[in-house]
């Protein structure tokens, strides 16, 4: 965000690049100074509060716990049905603890009421007792289909944002051309908006590119899950279900990795 403020500062300076009077230049210095002060404040705030790091760590923690939970209740790898209920629960709790230990900085940020909830619920234990086909059906409906619906929503959202930023770019590029024509016809003009319009276009292009890449990532993840679901009819045994769950969770994990990479750009 503070980088965008600095870009805006450059754009404002560009507007006055042809100004020769003292008074307008004073306004330039005041506006630029205020924008620089704001960007410095945002930089310090982000450094101290670490909002972005907290958000990414929280998302990673949630995704890891969700993946582990689905593996546990479907009796997938590490939590096979051949294990006793006590052993499977112990392994699950130990894995959850190791995940949480990796992000100890988040402890103070988590909701205390949520932390007091049971790690292994009665419903989770109940699902483990279901037949292979019932567990598979539950996983497809509540995990894969839910993810596919979420991905579809995100694809639509990012497509709309992509279209929005495309028209922003087009508009300000057109205005840049108009500004250039104006300067050609009035070379002695004290105003030059070309820098501002091109700066906004450049920033908009970065947003367009990010939404395009996110849309492609969600589309790819949806297609991959579609292929995996088509193979669900072949899942008959616990071993096949275990592989099916792992393949599905790996596809979801890849989407999350791509999402983080795009968000951090």
Report which DSSP code applies to 144: I
Question: Domain count of the chain?
Answer: 3
Residues 18 and 61 in one domain: no
**pLDDT exceeds 90 at position 41:** no
CA dist 133 → 127, 222, 224, 233, 251 (Å)? 11, 23, 22, 10, 21
Residues 142 and 233 in one domain: yes
pLDDT of residue 24: 54
Residues 70 and 101 in one domain: yes
Residues 140 and 260 in one domain: yes
Confidence of residue 28 (pLDDT cuts 50, 70, 90): low
Residues 64 and 153 in one domain: no
Residues 195 and 217 in one domain: yes
119: CB partners within 8 A, 6+ apart: 92, 93, 96
Please count the other Cβ atoms lying within 10 Å of the Cβ belonging to residue 35.
20
pLDDT of residue 151: 92
pLDDT digits (tens, 9 = 90+) for 140-177: 999 999 999 999 999 999 999 999 999 999 999 999 99
Cα(143)–Cα(122) distance, rounded to whole angstroms? 19
CA dist 96 → 48, 111, 180 (Å)? 28, 17, 61
Residues 136 and 208 in one domain: yes
Which structural domain, as residue segments, surrounds residue 187? 130-265
pLDDT of residue 126: 95
Residue at which a domain ends, from 74, 108, 129: 129
Residues 140 and 157 in one domain: yes
Structural contact between residues 15 and 191, judged by C-beta atoms closer than 8 angstroms: yes
Encoded tokens for 222: 């949806």
**pLDDT exceeds 50 at position 18:** no
Residues 66 and 40 in one domain: no
Structural contact between residues 248 and 144, judged by C-beta atoms closer than 8 angstroms: yes
Residues 40 and 81 in one domain: no
* pTM given for the model: 0.77
**pLDDT exceeds 90 at position 116:** no
Residue at which a domain ends, from 85, 104, 129: 129
Buried-exposed string 205-238: b where 16+ CB fall within 10 A, e elsewhere: eebbebbbbbbebbbebbebbeebeeebeebeeb
Residue at which a domain ends, from 49, 64, 79: 49
pLDDT digits (tens, 9 = 90+) for 206-220: 899 989 988 988 998
Structural contact between residues 17 and 193, judged by C-beta atoms closer than 8 angstroms: no
pLDDT of residue 187: 82
């Amino acid at each position: 965000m503070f980088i965008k403020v600095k870009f805006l500062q450059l754009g404002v300076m560009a507007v006055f690049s042809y100004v020769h009077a003292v008074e307008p230049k004073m306004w330039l210095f005041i506006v630029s100074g205020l924008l620089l002060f704001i960007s410095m404040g945002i930089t310090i705030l982000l450094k101290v509060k670490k909002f972005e790091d907290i958000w990414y760590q929280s998302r990673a923690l949630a995704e890891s716990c969700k993946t582990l939970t689905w593996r546990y209740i479907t009796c997938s790898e590490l939590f096979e049905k051949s294990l006793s209920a006590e052993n499977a629960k112990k392994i699950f709790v130990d894995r959850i603890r190791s995940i949480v230990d990796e992000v100890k900085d988040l402890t103070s940020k988590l909701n205390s009421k949520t932390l007091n909830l049971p790690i292994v619920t009665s419903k989770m234990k109940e699902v483990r007792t279901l037949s292979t086909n019932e567990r598979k059906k539950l996983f497809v409906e509540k995990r894969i289909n839910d993810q596919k619906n979420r991905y579809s929503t995100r694809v639509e959202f990012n497509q709309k944002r992509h279209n929005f930023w495309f028209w922003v770019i087009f508009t300000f590029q057109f205005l840049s051309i108009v500004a250039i024509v104006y300067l050609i016809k009035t070379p002695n003009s004290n105003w030059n908006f070309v820098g501002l319009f091109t700066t906004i276009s450049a920033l908009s292009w970065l947003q367009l590119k990010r939404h395009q890449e996110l849309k492609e990532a969600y589309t790819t993840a949806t297609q991959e899950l579609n292929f995996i679901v088509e193979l669900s009819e072949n899942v008959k045994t616990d071993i096949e279900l275990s592989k099916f769950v792992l393949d599905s969770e790996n596809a979801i994990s890849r989407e999350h990795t791509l999402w983080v990479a795009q968000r951090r750009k």
